Amino acid sequence: MIICICHRISDRDITRAVREGCASFDELQDETRVATACGACHDCAHQSFHAQARAGAGGCPRSPHAGAQALQLAGA
C-alpha cells in the first residue's frame, strides 16, 4: 500500500527501512523522504513506522539486541 504519494513510499518501504536500522521517524524521513513534501501522509507514515517498530522489524533479526531495539523504537 502506498503511504506517501509524493515520494512513492509504501508500507513495505517503511518496513524495510526499519529492518535496516532506522531508529526514529526523523531517520526514516532522511532515508526515504516520506512526509517531506506536502505532509498529507505524515500521520499515516508515523503510525506505520511505530507499528513496524512494535512488531519487531527493527534491527538485525539475528541480533540478540533486536527485541530491545524494537521496544526502544516503540517508546516502551
Q: Would you state the cell numbers that stand for residue 13, as one nine-digit string?
A: 518501504
Is 5 near ligand FES (CB under 6 A)?
yes
Q: Would you state the cell numbers that stand for residue 33, as one nine-digit string?
A: 523522504
Q: Which of 20, 40, 55, 68 is close enough to bind ligand FES by CB under 6 A?
A: 40
Is 28 near ligand FES (CB under 6 A)?
no
Strand, helix or coil for residue 15:
helix
Q: Give the number of residues in contact with ligand FES, rule: CB under 6 A.
A: 10
CA distance 41 to 23: 19
Which positions touch ligand FES (CB under 6 A)?
4-6, 35-41
